[in-house]
Amino acid sequence: MKGEITYGSILIQFQVIHMARKTLEIAVHPDSTVVIKAPVGTRFEEIQLRVCKRAGWIKRQLDYFRQFEPRTPPRQYVGGETHLYLGKQYRLKISCEERDEVKLIGGHFQIKVKESASPDKVKSLLEAWYAEKAANRFRESFERCWPFFEKLSLAKPRLQILRMKKRWGSLSKNGTLTLNVDLIRAPKECIDYVVVHELCHLKYYDHSPAFYRLLDTVMPDWKKRKHKLELALV
C-alpha cells in the first residue's frame, strides 16, 4: 500500500507494510524511501495522521540523505578540462602514445591514449585510475578510523567500493560498508567523515540523538568536514 502527504511545499510519499507487530514504525532509508511498518489491521487514516505528525522529522531525514548525493557536474573529458582528486583540481593533458596510461604529474593528469583519444576512451582510463586509487585510499581511511569502534567490541564490517548514483556511503545490516568510488575526488578529511559516519551506524542504525552523540565523540569537527564535502563536490 502506498500513500502521500503534503508538507509545506514538498510531497512526501510513503509505503505501508502491515505486519505482526505491536507498534507503528516510520523509517527513512538512505535511498530516500519512506517505509511505514504498521500492525495488522491499522487503518490507513491512522497511518496517514501519524505520518503528518512526523512530517518535519521525515523532511529532515530526507534532506540529510540528499547531502550525500553526488553533485559533480558532467565532464566532457577533453584536454584542458579540470578534474578533482582528493579535493584538488588537476587539468587534463591528453596525448596519443604507444600505450594507454594515466599519471598525475604536477598539476596535471597526463593521459596517454593508444589509439583514438575520444572522450569515452579518456573517461574510461580516468575512471579506472580513480578506482585503483580509491581502493588504496579508502582502505587507509577505514583502517585509520576503525580503532575507536574496535574498542566498542563491534564486528568489523567488510569494505566494498562501488559507483553509486545517490550516496557517498552506506552500511548494510549484514555488515558491509560501501563507499562511492567518486568520493576519491573529495579531500581526505571528508572521506574520513563519511567512513566514521557509516561506522557509527554499527552502533545506531538510525539517526537518533544517541547516534549524533557518538558521532560527536568520535569526530568532534564532523560538521565542518561535512560542510567541506558539500562545497568540494558541487
Q: What is the CATH number of the domain that holds 185?
A: 3.30.2010.10
Q: What values do phi and psi take at 186, rounded to 5?
A: -85, 160
Q: What is the pLDDT of residue 69?
A: 63
Cell numbers that stand for 164 in this block: 553509486
Domain enclosing residue 102, as ranges: 82-232
The whole-model pTM stands at 0.70
- Residue 147 CA to residue 61 CA, distance in Å, equals 28
In a domain, 74, yes or no: no
Give CA–CA dist 220/212, Å, rounded. Answer: 10
Task: Write out pLDDT tens, residues 81-138.
Answer: 999 999 999 999 999 999 999 999 988 999 999 888 899 999 999 999 999 999 999 9
Sorted by sequence, the CB contacts under 8 Å of residue 46 that are 6+ apart come out as none
The answer to whether residues 111 and 60 belong to one domain is no
> pLDDT tens digits, residue range 144-182?
999 999 999 999 999 999 998 878 999 998 889 999 999
Q: What is the pLDDT of residue 167?
A: 86
